[in-house]
Amino acid sequence: MSAAQPLSTDLQAAAPSAARTRVLKLLTVITAISILFGVYLALFAVGRDIEQGDVQRIFYLHISSFAGAFVAFSCTVVGGLAYLRTRNAKWDALAVAGVEVGLALALMNLITGAVWARPIWNTWWTWDPRLTSDAIMCLTYAAYLMLRQGIENPETMRRFASVYGILAFTTVIITFIITRIRPDTIHPVVIGANPQNAQGAFGLTVSISMVVSYNMVVWSVLVPWTLVWWRIRLENMHQRVQTLRARLMEE
């Protein structure tokens, strides 16, 4: 083995700067406080729904987490397109970060929906068009992560993942619009006209609209931004370790 060498300049450059770390930590604190305040508003600032009881309050987080997933999956499309154009691995890091964050938020959306459905629809799950498309969306993005694990060559893996990540966004669009194009869904629409068979719908008063809007901003801007940033750093760390390992083997 050769004598000890300092880390090369390109690897040192890939390491995050102290200033950026401070900004990210500050953003994380702001996001955490904003989440807690949003939960406080949902629990205490708005009244109880007269027909559904307290479980209706979960809607403030249920729809907001879907908005967050939408934004995160959009990052995957941007990352995928940019990677295919530039072949720069930093865009692939954005793409995979978008998928992991989006999948976590989509699962949070799916689980809260199932728990809400139990007392309101009298079932945990039904093969309603919206629920089915949401489940397909989650499975599609879970498959994206498995696809990445299954390809050894990094260049090939990134190229395939970019194309897959772009195409997978169709499931997000379908999930979003399906309650507006399928008349047989029972899933209510919070913003816009409800389908004719909707069960569990509620009206938007001024206070409800304000709390929905606040949580939408928190979960579709602050939360995805913070989590995607942390996940990109993790991906950069992963790439740095892989590069160091390869160089060690060469030495």
Partner 1 sequence: MPETIVTPDTTAYLWLALSLFFLVLFLFVASMALRARSFRKDEALIQQLRDEP
* 224 contacts 75 by C-beta, under 8 angstroms: yes
Out of 39, 84, 147, 201, name the contact with partner 1 by CB under 8 A.
39
Query: Which residues 4-23 are close enough to bind partner 1 by CB under 8 A?
Result: 4-5, 7
What is the per-residue DSSP string for 12-37? HHHSPPHHHHHHHHHHHHHHHHHHHH
Out of 14, 24, 45, 52, name the contact with partner 1 by CB under 8 A.
52
Task: For residue 116, give every residue at least 6 positions away whose Cβ sits within 8 Å of its Cβ, in sequence order, or none.
Answer: 55, 56, 58, 59, 62, 200
Pick the stretch among 49-57, 132-140, 186-194, 200-208 that binds partner 1 (CB under 8 A): 49-57
Region for residue 221 given its phi and psi (left: phi exceeds 0; alpha: psi -120 to 50; beta: otherwise): alpha
Asked if 162 interacts with partner 1 (CB under 8 A), we say: no
* 175 contacts 169 by C-beta, under 8 angstroms: no
Query: Which residues 204-243 are close enough to bind partner 1 by CB under 8 A?
Result: 227, 230-231, 233-234, 237-238, 240-241
Out of 24, 27, 58, 198, name the contact with partner 1 by CB under 8 A.
58
The rounded distance, in Å, linking the Cα atoms of 100 and 219 is 15
- Which CB sits closer to partner 1, 57 or 148? 57
* 195 contacts 186 by C-beta, under 8 angstroms: yes
Query: Which residues 62-121 are close enough to bind partner 1 by CB under 8 A?
Result: 62, 65, 100-101, 104, 107-108, 111-112, 115-116, 118-120
Task: For residue 169, give every residue at least 6 positions away whose Cβ sits within 8 Å of its Cβ, in sequence order, or none.
Answer: 73, 74, 76, 77
Question: Minimum Å distance from CB 64 to partner 1?
Answer: 10
Pull the structure tokens for residue 98: 């978008």
Out of 20, 25, 48, 180, name the contact with partner 1 by CB under 8 A.
48
Distances (CA, A) of 145 to 78, 151, 190, 221, 246: 17, 11, 31, 23, 23
- Which CB sits closer to partner 1, 100 or 128? 100
Give residues in contact with partner 1 (CB under 8 A).
Answer: 1, 3-5, 7, 39, 48-58, 61-62, 65, 100-101, 104, 107-108, 111-112, 115-116, 118-120, 227, 230-231, 233-234, 237-238, 240-241, 244-245, 248, 251
